[in-house]
Structure 1
């Protein structure tokens, strides 16, 4: 019996040991060459305010601005007691040379601001790069890093097979649905199964739309109600880590950080027909993050502030020319459809409540009001505390949007100040990006 217990104890000691759950936000360093240390500190403070644990610094090989941007980033992070780690981008400007990867990890891996798995191993990820998988045994042996790459192009089983024993886990970039259906957890569980107990880092994103002809990018994926749905799925999947896509990828419209004019040069550089980010805030998508992150980390969360988040596109889907944008992308094996088939002309609202009892929602567009309803209660069911969701169609209404949440006739949350709904089109082109604002 003692021998069997010893064997059991030994077997348990071989199982992967995971750190406490953490939430990261993907940060495109290539968009930040004009940012000062103070700008970085501002971004970090905003991230800390909503319980984000670290920025994942996406860095492209050969980017001449990397050195100065990383210096500012780490100085800011150290001043704010915040963490950062690298995601080596193997697509933006080609693969990373192995010696440069080693050099950067060695340069910053011992920095107090560098995020370390279990407090000891520098956490390192990638954006793609499976063709360079053979570099990583030496990189890991030299740097002692904890390696969780994104090799999503190979699929879960293909990525695990390519990696062999090199990886400590995998990150999936599959954060958006295919076609008009809502996203499911099928791919997430496929990764967890393929990983056989190694760490899984799950992606969560609010939106996707890109129209950058100079980069040969012009498509969208369905984003209606995606943000809240993915956080609900995080609770179902229970991944080891969550990575938000993204903090500042303006070119693909899935930023949750502030829009800074000095970071929007890519629209001119890529000959975009419109700047589809300017004056389109996504700040609202941060509002409920402390609640969602606390649920993920602690298995539950108290409602400390009742609040509302509203998201919508400013143009009805057939009001303007599509801009050549497709719904879906054939390069990903998808059937391309007209983009208007993937979106609803609705004002969407998510309301965090202690209870839904005697709560009403009123959506006003251009001064014309309509009562809203909750189509999706929280997991605890109607009447429980949590996030309630619903939407109201534009119809023929145009103008400023105001959403009012009241209990017993007394306003508890009001959302306004976003773009007005209009058939006026910038350069005659549809903006498929959505605004997200909060109370």
Structure 2
């Protein structure tokens, strides 16, 4: 990325109510200047603000545990690095197959003895056998755990909503051990890269469902997956073309703006920080409704779908999440300019999955008041196709 793009990312995330970024780092090689530059740009952009950054080592790339401390130390000393209880917050993606002694001698101890930095270690150990059961007993070094996979429904062939079972278990075990839990929240997951990297994880009402679960469970942290991972399509902010150069990610991500989701994420953040325990207490930032709606641009009957893992769980639907300031509103959904659903709104976060997605344009949402005046609306930017117009099954 560029330094200007880093400034935009930090600014936009702060404006949306985020406290910081977890920076997924899959390279610790100093010769990978694209990675070093991106980190430096982001730390510079966050410097002097309340926005914080932390390193999350991507262990799925086979990083050497014994080299993590040396890489982390220069960033941990910067003012923008996130600390809790005076300790340097560090996370991972996977690493639960590496033993506690290996993590302790290779990373935790050198951080303290060599660099004088006490890490606050909260990794994603989804790959630990039986996770989350037994993870704190097997890893005394942990200060907490983060889950990644629980952000979406488990892979499968039927439409299903996301479960909070893993999160509830991890949270209970963390609290019993005097540790903390970082709960993930995400809109969807879609990838179309070939070579076994074509899959879909349900995105109909996933984001709203996770909001409800997070407010009920009250974890100490919530991590939104993700700000800019266009490769898996769950970005809620911008992604930059430099980040996907040389890949086919742009074939299914470029031109698809996901920042509408921030319209509902920002009020959620405010409610979560206030200790709210139900989506019935999420309110818009003003007296006007806010929200988003979304849909896939291909019907489930498209012939290319059979190449995508979990394609059977998709539905031909238009989905919405709308936060209303009061009762007295009706939410109308259209596809191909035909009304497919009408819902009396409640004062809070309203969301639903409305069957009836049809070929053509005219995907639209309208919020009308008691006098049938349109007070908020949005029109989809993509027509719905029966078959893909190119080689990408989006």
Structure-1-length-normalised TM-score: 0.78
Instruction: Indicate yes or no: 2:173 matched with 1:200.
Output: no
Distance 1:304 1:225 in 2: 22
Match of 2:309 among 301, 326, 332: 326
- Give 5+ residue unaligned stretches, structure 1: 1-34, 328-338, 378-382, 432-439
Aligned to 1:411: 374
Distance 1:132 1:311 in 2: 42
Distance 2:233 2:380 in 1: 20
Distance 2:47 2:283 in 1: 31
After superposition, give the CA deviation of every residue in 1:199-222 in whole Å (9 maximum; x if it has no partner): 1000111101112225x4222222
Once superposed, what is the RMSD of the aligned Cα atoms? Answer: 2.1
Q: Larger deviation: 361-370 or 42-51? A: 361-370
Aligned-pair CA distance for 1:140: 5.0
For residue 305 of structure 2, give the secondary structure of its aligned residue in structure 1: coil
Match of 2:314 among 343, 356, 359: 343
Q: How many residues were matched structurally?
A: 367
Distance 2:230 2:357 in 1: 29
Match of 1:162 among 119, 138, 144: 138
Structure-2-length-normalised TM-score: 0.87
For residue 25 of structure 2, give the secondary structure of its aligned residue in structure 1: strand
Instruction: Indicate yes or no: 2:180 matched with 1:209.
Output: no
Aligned-pair CA distance for 1:403: 1.1
For residue 213 of structure 1, give the secondary structure of its aligned residue in structure 2: coil
Q: Output aligned runs, 1:352-371, within 5 Å.
A: 352-357=323-328, 359-371=329-341
Aligned-pair CA distance for 1:303: 2.9
Match of 2:386 among 419, 423, 432: 423
Match of 1:281 among 251, 257, 274: 257
The verdict on how the C-alpha distance between 1:252 and 1:293 changes in structure 2, with shifts beyond 3 A counting, is: same
1:400, 1:421 within 8 Å by CA — same for their partners in 2? no
Match of 1:113 among 70, 74, 80: 80
Distance 2:357 2:172 in 1: 45
Instruction: Indicate yes or no: 2:4 matched with 1:38.
Output: yes
Distance 1:277 1:67 in 2: 25
2:299, 2:385 within 8 Å by CA — same for their partners in 1? yes
Match of 1:225 among 179, 199, 205: 205
The verdict on how the C-alpha distance between 1:50 and 1:125 changes in structure 2, with shifts beyond 3 A counting, is: same
Distance 2:390 2:262 in 1: 30
Aligned-pair CA distance for 1:237: 0.9
Aligned to 2:279: none
Aligned-pair CA distance for 1:224: 1.2
The verdict on how the C-alpha distance between 1:397 and 1:368 changes in structure 2, with shifts beyond 3 A counting, is: farther
- Give 5+ residue unaligned stretches, structure 2: 277-281
